[in-house]
C-alpha cells in the first residue's frame, strides 16, 4: 500500500500494543498489506484472547492482504533474550529485527516493511539503531495522515493515558476545558499488589458489579462473604466501575450500611408524571440470572445491606457499545480546522455512562444514527469516560438497524461462516443412500425407515431437530422412539466448522430472522428431519409397559429414518382432538385397545397418551409448571409486523416437550456412567428461602403464601394461589416466582458432587440437553459422548479433559443467556414497530409488579411487556413497609398485584436519537393521578388476552394469510374455519 505517511510501496508491521490498543483502527479498510508477526500473535493469545481472535479474522479476510510471518522459527529473524532484557524488551527487539529483515528481503521488488508502534521509545530505537535502522512510524501519526482521505479512521483512534504502557498521551481535545458539570472528583485506585493482598486477607471483597437500569447511580455486588448483596451507593462509591466489571470492595462500618434505594432515577427526557418511554420486554424466564438486580419485585427488605465502595477494578468488562449522539451535542462548535467536535455519546444500555468522544464526521452523518463506540479510559477528574468512534450502523428506529443493534449489544456472533468452515461441508446433493453405499453398507447404523416417524413443530420450522414415533409391539408393550438429527456425522471435532459452531454455541431467534449456529446447508437441509427424505439420526428407543409406563428396555442407536410428516402443533392438535375425523379408531380411548386406521394418527394418539402420564409423574415429583408470556407476531411479506398475540399453549406442545425431557434424562444417566468426569450436564440449583421474602410479603397481603421447603411444596402452594375474580392472578404468581429462582447452567460432571446434579425446576436428579444439536452446541458435545459410550465412534481426546469441557460449558452458558436476551429485545422492538407502523394507541390492563418511591413497574400481559410509570405528584407518598403508593390520607393508591389501566402508544423521538431505546410510551389511565373517581379496573379473561391485537388496516391481510396456512380439509374442518374467521372478526372489532 501507499500513504502520505510513507509514500513508497510498503507493508505495515504493527507491534503488539497497536493490536491491543488500536484494534478498531486496524480493522478499518484503509489499512491493508499487513504482516502479523508470530511474536505478536503469541503475545496476543496470552494477553487478550478476544484481540487474538480479531487478529486471526484479519488474516482470513482476503481483501486485507494480511499474512502471518513465523519470525520465531526463521533463522534470520529469531533473537535470544539478553540477560539484561525483560521479555517485553526482547519482543520489541524481535519485532524490529523481523521488520528490518523483511524490508531488506523486499527491497529488490521496490517494496518496504514499515513497523508501526504505539511506544515512542521503541520508535526511537527502531529509527536510531546503529547496526541497521528500520522503517518505523508512530501508529497515531500514520493513521492521522491517512485520515485526510478516510476521516472516520481518525475517529477510531483510541486515546490512552500516559503510563499505560502504550506510550500514548491523552488527546488534549478530550480533556481540555471540562465544564463544572463534566468534572468529578473520583478517588484514586489502590495499586495491584495492595488489592491482591487485601482480597486474600479478607480486607477487601471481590465481586461483579450489577447495575439496575432503573437507577444507574447504585450497584449491587454479590460476594461469598454475605447472604445479601453489597450496596455500592452513588457515583463516587462506584468509582468509575461499570456494569459487569470485577471490582475490589472495601466495606463501610456497619453504622453506615444502607438499604438499596427505592427511587428510580430517570432521564428527564424519558419520563413525565404518569407516563414514560421506559418500556422493555418482560424477563420472565425459568432460568433467570441469579445476580440480576432486576430480580427483586420491590424494595420491601428492611434489613440494612452491607455497604461498600470500589477501591480498584480487578477486571474490566468493556465491549463496544451501541447508541447515538443527541442532536444538541452535534450542534457544538468545531474545535479545529478539520471540523473536530468533542461530544457525549449516549449508550442504549442505560447502565453504561455517557462517553466523551472526538469526531471529524459531519453532524448530518451522525444525526439520528445508531453508532458504535468503545471506552478507552476514565480519568479520576472527569464525570464521563473517554472513548472513540468505531462505526455507524444505520438510521435509528428502523427494523434492520435496531435488529443489528440487538445482536451487537448481546454479543451474538452473526457474521458469515468462513470459507474454511464451508470447506468442511458435504456436497449439497448429499443423500443418505449415497453415504451408505460409499461406506459399504449401514455398518452399525440401524435402518428405521420402515417406522412411521413424524415431527411436530411451530408452523414454518425448517431446522427440524427431532421426530417421534410410537407403536404397539406384538408383546403388547409400546415402543417409543425419539429421533434426533445426527449433526455429528457432519460436524467433526477439531475442524474449522466445529470451532465456529462452538464459538456461536446456539442459534438465536429474533422475530424476523434466525442467526444459525450451523450453515444452512446443514441446519435447514441435510440435518433437518424433513418429510419424505432419508436422514441420519441418533435414536432413543424405549419399550414401555402401557399401563405403568415402566421402562422395560432402553436402546441408543445411530440410525437412518424417513419422516412421514412434519406436523405443525395446530395440525397435530386437530388429530388429537378428533382422531376419528382423521381415520383412527379405538375401542377404548383410555387404553388404546384395538386401535385401527391411519397408523400415523395412531402414533400421535399413543404419544399423547404417554406424554400426559409422564407430565403427571413429573408434577407429582415436584416439577414447577411455571408461566412465561411469549408474544408471537404475524409478519408481512416485508417482514414488518401485522399484529401480535400472546402464544397459546396447547396439549401438542406438551407432547413434544415431555418426550424431549424423557430423552434428555435417559441420555444423562447413560453418559455419566461412561464419563463420570467429563459428561456435559445441566443443573438448576435450588433457591434459598431468602429469595422469596419479598414475594411472600405481597402474597400474604392477598391471603396466600408459598411453601418453599422443596420444589414439590412450592408447586403445590402455587396451585393454591388463585383468585376466583381474576383468572390471570395464578399466571402472574408463576411469572413472579421465576424471578426468585436460580439460573440453570451447563457444567462438566466432574466439577460438582452428585448431589448438585439435580434440576430443581424439572424435579430430576440428573439432566442434560441432547435433543437439539442443530441449534445448541451442548447437544453436539452430548452426542459425541453418547456415540463414544455405545462404542459407535472412538472417544475424542477433547472429551476426556475436564478443563476443556468446563471451558466450553462456560462459553455455552454465556451464549445461552445472550440468545434469550436478544430474543426478548427483538420482541420489544417489533411491538414498538407495530405501534409505530399503524400509529396505534392501545388501552390494556396492567398489573403492578414492583413499587418504588417515585413510581411503579407494571406488566402488560397482552404484549408481555413491562414499563416504569413515574409518580412524583405531591398528592401521593411512598409506604416502604407495605411497598405501595398511598394518598396523603393513607388510602392505598396502587401496590404489587393491583390492576391498572394503561395506554400504550408509539413513541416518536422526532429527528433525534431515541436515548430511551424504546419505540413505545406507556401512560397510566386508571386509577387517575388527578383524583378523578373511577371504577376498579376489571380483571381480564384469559380468552381476551389471547385475542390478537390486529390493526384495522392489517386485519384483511392477516385473515388472508391465516386462511392460506390452515391445515388440509378433514371432516368438521369447515366448522373450524368458520370459528377461526369469527375470532378474526372479533379481534378486528376489539381494535
Collapsing DSSP to helix, strand or coil, 99 comes out as helix
- Rounded (5°) CA angle 952-955-957: 130
Rounded to whole angstroms, the Cα distance separating 657 from 271 reads: 42
pLDDT reported for residue 559: 97
Identify whether residues 595 and 464 lie together within a single domain. Answer: yes
Q: Is residue 980 part of a domain?
A: no
CB neighbour class for 244 (10 Å; exposed up to 12, middle 13-18, buried from 19):
middle
Identify whether residues 570 and 524 lie together within a single domain. Answer: yes
Contact, 160 vs 376, CB < 8 A? yes
The pLDDT confidence band at residue 650, using thresholds 50, 70 and 90, is confident
Final residue belonging to a domain, choices 818, 852, 880: 818
The pLDDT confidence band at residue 267, using thresholds 50, 70 and 90, is low
Final residue belonging to a domain, choices 156, 183, 198: 156
Domain with 51 in it: 10-156
Contact, 506 vs 815, CB < 8 A? yes
Question: Going by C-beta distance under 8 Å and a sequence separation of 6 or more, which residues neighbour residue 948?
Answer: 634, 643, 644, 645, 958, 984, 987
- Tens digits of per-residue pLDDT, 8-30? 899 999 999 999 999 999 999 99
Residue 277 has pLDDT above 80, yes or no: no
C-alpha cell at 731: 399466571
- Tens digits of per-residue pLDDT, 50-72? 899 899 989 988 889 999 999 99
Contact, 434 vs 542, CB < 8 A? no
Identify whether residues 859 and 809 lie together within a single domain. Answer: no
Identify whether residues 483 and 507 lie together within a single domain. Answer: yes
- Helix, strand and coil content of the chain, in percent to the nearest 5, comes to 35, 25, 40
Identify whether residues 341 and 436 lie together within a single domain. Answer: no
C-alpha cell at 219: 450497584
Rounded to whole angstroms, the Cα distance separating 466 from 667 reads: 15
Identify whether residues 87 and 110 lie together within a single domain. Answer: yes
C-alpha cell at 606: 399413543
**Pairing outcome for strands 369-377 and 321-324:** antiparallel
Can you give the CATH number for the domain in which 854 is found?
2.40.50.140
CA distance to 37, 608, 611, per residue, from 616 (Å): 62, 12, 9
What interhelical angle do 651-674 and 599-621 show, nearest 10? Answer: 70
Question: Going by C-beta distance under 8 Å and a sequence separation of 6 or more, which residues neighbour residue 628?
Answer: 284, 285, 286, 735, 738
Identify whether residues 453 and 537 lie together within a single domain. Answer: yes
Identify whether residues 556 and 465 lie together within a single domain. Answer: yes
Residue 516 has pLDDT above 80, yes or no: yes
Residue 847 has pLDDT above 80, yes or no: yes
- For residues 575-599, give the mean pLDDT: 83
C-alpha cell at 607: 404419544
Rounded to whole angstroms, the Cα distance separating 894 from 175 reads: 47
Q: Is residue 384 part of a domain?
A: yes
Final residue belonging to a domain, choices 818, 840, 857: 818
Q: Is residue 495 part of a domain?
A: yes
- Nearest one of 102, 100, 82 to 91, comparing CA atoms: 82
Strand partners, 323: 347, 371
Rounded to whole angstroms, the Cα distance separating 726 from 103 reads: 80
- Tens digits of per-residue pLDDT, 104-127? 999 999 999 999 998 888 888 888
Q: Is residue 257 part of a domain?
A: no
Residue 965 has pLDDT above 90, yes or no: no
- For residues 123-140, give the mean pLDDT: 83
Can you give the CATH number for the domain in which 151 is found?
3.40.50.1010
Question: Going by C-beta distance under 8 Å and a sequence separation of 6 or more, which residues neighbour residue 200?
Answer: none
Contact, 459 vs 568, CB < 8 A? yes
Identify whether residues 589 and 446 lie together within a single domain. Answer: yes
pLDDT reported for residue 298: 38
The conformation of residue 938, written as its DSSP 8-state character, comes to P
The pLDDT confidence band at residue 595, using thresholds 50, 70 and 90, is confident
Identify whether residues 914 and 814 lie together within a single domain. Answer: no
Residue 246 has pLDDT above 70, yes or no: yes
Can you give the CATH number for the domain in which 339 is found?
2.40.50.700
- Tens digits of per-residue pLDDT, 480-495? 999 999 999 999 999 9
The pLDDT confidence band at residue 955, using thresholds 50, 70 and 90, is low
Q: Is residue 399 part of a domain?
A: yes
CA distance to 371, 619, 757, 807, 813, per residue, from 764 (Å): 46, 11, 9, 25, 20
Question: Going by C-beta distance under 8 Å and a sequence separation of 6 or more, which residues neighbour residue 221?
Answer: 205, 207, 208, 209, 210, 229, 230, 232, 247, 249, 308
pLDDT reported for residue 678: 96
Q: Is residue 609 part of a domain?
A: yes
Is the preceding omega at residue 332 within 30 degrees of 0, hence cis? Answer: no
Cell 454475605, located at residue: 226
Rounded to whole angstroms, the Cα distance separating 577 from 592 reads: 15
- Tens digits of per-residue pLDDT, 799-844? 889 999 999 999 999 999 999 999 999 999 999 888 888 887 889 9
Would you say the C-alpha torsion 297, 298, 301, 306 has a positive or negative sign? Answer: positive
The dihedrals phi and psi of 311, each to the nearest 5 degrees, come to: -105, -15
- Tens digits of per-residue pLDDT, 196-208? 999 999 999 999 9
pTM for this predicted structure: 0.88
Q: Is residue 231 part of a domain?
A: no
The conformation of residue 750, written as its DSSP 8-state character, comes to G
Q: Is residue 227 part of a domain?
A: no
Cell 411469549, located at residue: 630
Identify whether residues 404 and 440 lie together within a single domain. Answer: no
Q: What is the DSSP string of 414-456?
A: -SPPPHHHHTTSPPTT--HHHHHHHTTS-TT-EE-TTS-EEEE
Identify whether residues 467 and 388 lie together within a single domain. Answer: no
Rounded to whole angstroms, the Cα distance separating 74 from 100 reads: 14
Question: Going by C-beta distance under 8 Å and a sequence separation of 6 or more, which residues neighbour residue 88?
Answer: none
Collapsing DSSP to helix, strand or coil, 706 comes out as coil
- Nearest one of 159, 486, 533 to 355, comparing CA atoms: 159
pLDDT reported for residue 985: 28
Q: What percent of the chain has pLDDT over 70?
A: 88
Q: What's the number of domains the chain is made of?
A: 4
C-alpha cell at 803: 478443563
Rounded to whole angstroms, the Cα distance separating 423 from 527 reads: 17
Amino acid at each position: 500500500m501507499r500513504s502520505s505517511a510513507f509514500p513508497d510501496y510498503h507493508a505495515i508491521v504493527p507491534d503488539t500494543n497497536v493490536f491491543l490498543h488500536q484494534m478498531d483502527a486496524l480493522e478499518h479498510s484503509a489499512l491493508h498489506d499487513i504482516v502479523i508477526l508470530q511474536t505478536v500473535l503469541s503475545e496476543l493469545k496470552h494477553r487478550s484472547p478476544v484481540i487474538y481472535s480479531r487478529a486471526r479474522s484479519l488474516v482470513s479476510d482476503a481483501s486485507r492482504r494480511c499474512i502471518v510471518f513465523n519470525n520465531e522459527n526463521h533463522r534470520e529473524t529469531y533473537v535470544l533474550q539478553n540477560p539484561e532484557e525483560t521479555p517485553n524488551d526482547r519482543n520489541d527487539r524481535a519485532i524490529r529485527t523481523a521488520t528490518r529483515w523483511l524490508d531488506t528481503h523486499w527491497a529488490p521488488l521496490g517494496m518496504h516493511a514499515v513497523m508501526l508502534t504505539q511506544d515512542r521509545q521503541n520508535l526511537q530505537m527502531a529509527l536510531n539503531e546503529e547496526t541497521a535502522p528500520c522503517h518505523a512510524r508512530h501508529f497515531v501519526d500514520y493513521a492521522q495522515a491517512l485520515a485526510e482521505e478516510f476521516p472516520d479512521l481518525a475517529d477510531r483512534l483510541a486515546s490512552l493515558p500516559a503510563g499505560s504502557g502504550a506510550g500514548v498521551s491523552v488527546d488534549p481535545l478530550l480533556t481540555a476545558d471540562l465544564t463544572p458539570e463534566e468534572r468529578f472528583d473520583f478517588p484514586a485506585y489502590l495499586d495491584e499488589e495492595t488489592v491482591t493482598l487485601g482480597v486474600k486477607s479478607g480486607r477487601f471483597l471481590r465481586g461483579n458489579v450489577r447495575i439496575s437500569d432503573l437507577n444507574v447511580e447504585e450497584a449491587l455486588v454479590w460476594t461469598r462473604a454475605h447472604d445479601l448483596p453489597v450496596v455500592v451507593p452513588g457515583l463516587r462509591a462506584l468509582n468509575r466501575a461499570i456494569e459487569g466489571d470485577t471490582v475490589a470492595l472495601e466495606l463501610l462500618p456497619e453504622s453506615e450500611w444502607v438499604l438499596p434505594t427505592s427511587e428510580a432515577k430517570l432521564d428527564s427526557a424519558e419520563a413525565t408524571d404518569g407516563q414514560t418511554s421506559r418500556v422493555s420486554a418482560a424477563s420472565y424466564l425459568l432460568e433467570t440470572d441469579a445476580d440480576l438486580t432486576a430480580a427483586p419485585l420491590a424494595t420491601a427488605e428492611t434489613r440494612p445491606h452491607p455497604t461498600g465502595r470500589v477501591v480498584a477494578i480487578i477486571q474490566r468488562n468493556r465491549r463496544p457499545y451501541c447508541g447515538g449522539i443527541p442532536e444538541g451535542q452535534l450542534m457544538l462548535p468545531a474545535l479545529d480546522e478539520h471540523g473536530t467536535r468533542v461530544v457525549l455519546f449516549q449508550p442504549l444500555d442505560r447502565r453504561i455512562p455517557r462517553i466523551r468522544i472526538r469526531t471529524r464526521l459531519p453532524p448530518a452523518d451522525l444525526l439520528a444514527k445508531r453508532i458504535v463506540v468503545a471506552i478507552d479510559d476514565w480519568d479520576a477528574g472527569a464525570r464521563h469516560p473517554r472513548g472513540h468512534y468505531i462505526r455507524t450502523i444505520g438510521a435509528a428506529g428502523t427494523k434492520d438497524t435496531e435488529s443489528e443493534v440487538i445482536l451487537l449489544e448481546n454479543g451474538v456472533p452473526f457474521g458469515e461462516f468462513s470459507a474454511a468452515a464451508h470447506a468442511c461441508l458435504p456436497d449439497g446433493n448429499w443423500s443418505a443412500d449415497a453415504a451408505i453405499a460409499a461406506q459399504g453398507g449401514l455398518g452399525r447404523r440401524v435402518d428405521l425407515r420402515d417406522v412411521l416417524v413424524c415431527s411436530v413443530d411451530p408452523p414454518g420450522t425448517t431446522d427440524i431437530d427431532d421426530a417421534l414415533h410410537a407403536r404397539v409391539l406384538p408383546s403388547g408393550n409400546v415402543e417409543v422412539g425419539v429421533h434426533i438429527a445426527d449433526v455429528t456425522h457432519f460436524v467433526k471435532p477439531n475442524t474449522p466448522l466445529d470451532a465456529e459452531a462452538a464459538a456461536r454455541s446456539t442459534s438465536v431467534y429474533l422475530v424476523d430472522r434466525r442467526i444459525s449456529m450451523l450453515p444452512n446447508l446443514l441446519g435447514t437441509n441435510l440435518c433437518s428431519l424433513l418429510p419424505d427424505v432419508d436422514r441420519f439420526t441418533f435414536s432413543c428407543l424405549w419399550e414401555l409397559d402401557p399401563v405403568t409406563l415402566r421402562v422395560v428396555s432402553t436402546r441408543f442407536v445411530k440410525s437412518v429414518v424417513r419422516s412421514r410428516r412434519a406436523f405443525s402443533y395446530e395440525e397435530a392438535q386437530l388429530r388429537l382432538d378428533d382422531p376419528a375425523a382423521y381415520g383412527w379408531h379405538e375401542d377404548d380411548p383410555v387404553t388404546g385397545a384395538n386401535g385401527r386406521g391411519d397408523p400415523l394418527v395412531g402414533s400421535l394418539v399413543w404419544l399423547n397418551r404417554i406424554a400426559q402420564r409422564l407430565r403427571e409423574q413429573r408434577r407429582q415429583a415436584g416439577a414447577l409448571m411455571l408461566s412465561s408470556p411469549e408474544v408471537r407476531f404475524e409478519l408481512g411479506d416485508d417482514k414488518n409486523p401485522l399484529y401480535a398475540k400472546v402464544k397459546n399453549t396447547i396439549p401438542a406442545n406438551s407432547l413434544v416437550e415431555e418426550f424431549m425431557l424423557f430423552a434428555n434424562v435417559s441420555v444423562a444417566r447413560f453418559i455419566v456412567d461412561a464419563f463420570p468426569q467429563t459428561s456435559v450436564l445441566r443443573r438448576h440449583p435450588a433457591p434459598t428461602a431468602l429469595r422469596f421474602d419479598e414475594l411472600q410479603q405481597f402474597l400474604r397481603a392477598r391471603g396466600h403464601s408459598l411453601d418453599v421447603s422443596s420444589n414439590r411444596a412450592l408447586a403445590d402452594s402455587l396451585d393454591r394461589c388463585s383468585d376466583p375474580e381474576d383468572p390471570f392472578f395464578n399466571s402472574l404468581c408463576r411469572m413472579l416466582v421465576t424471578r426468585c429462582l436460580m439460573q440453570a447452567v451447563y457444567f462438566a460432571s466432574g466439577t460438582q458432587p452428585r448431589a448438585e446434579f439435580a434440576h430443581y425446576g424439572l424435579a430430576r436428579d440428573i439432566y442434560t440437553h441432547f435433543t437439539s444439536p442443530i441449534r445448541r452446541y451442548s447437544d453436539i458435545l452430548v452426542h459425541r459422548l453418547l456415540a463414544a459410550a455405545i462404542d459407535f465412534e472412538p472417544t475424542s481426546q477433547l472429551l476426556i479433559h475436564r478443563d476443556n469441557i468446563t471451558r466450553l460449558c462456560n462459553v455455552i452458558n454465556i451464549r445461552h443467556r445472550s440468545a434469550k436476551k436478544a430474543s426478548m429485545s427483538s420482541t420489544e422492538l417489533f411491538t414498538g414497530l407495530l405501534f409505530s407502523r399503524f400509529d396505534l394507541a392501545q388501552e390494556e390492563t396492567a398489573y403492578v409488579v414492583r413499587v418504588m418511591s417515585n413510581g411503579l413497574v407494571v406488566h402488560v400481559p397482552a404484549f408481555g411487556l413491562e414499563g416504569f410509570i413515574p409518580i412524583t405528584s405531591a398528592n401521593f407518598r411512598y409506604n416502604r413497609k407495605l411497598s405501595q403508593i398511598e394518598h396523603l390520607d393513607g388510602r392505598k393508591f396502587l401496590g404489587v398485584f393491583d390492576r391498572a389501566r394503561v395506554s400504550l402508544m408509539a413513541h416518536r423521538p422526532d429527528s433525534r436519537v431515541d436515548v430511551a431505546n424504546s419505540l413505545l410510551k406507556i401512560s397510566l389511565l386508571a386509577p387517575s393521578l388527578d383524583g378523578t373517581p373511577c371504577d376498579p379496573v376489571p380483571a381480564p379473561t384469559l380468552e381476551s388476552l389471547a385475542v390478537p391485537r390486529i390493526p384495522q388496516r392489517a386485519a384483511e391481510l392477516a385473515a388472508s394469510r391465516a386462511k392460506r396456512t390452515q391445515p388440509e380439509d378433514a371432516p368438521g374442518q369447515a366448522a373450524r374455519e368458520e370459528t377461526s374467521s369469527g375470532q378474526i372478526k372479533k379481534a378486528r372489532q376489539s381494535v
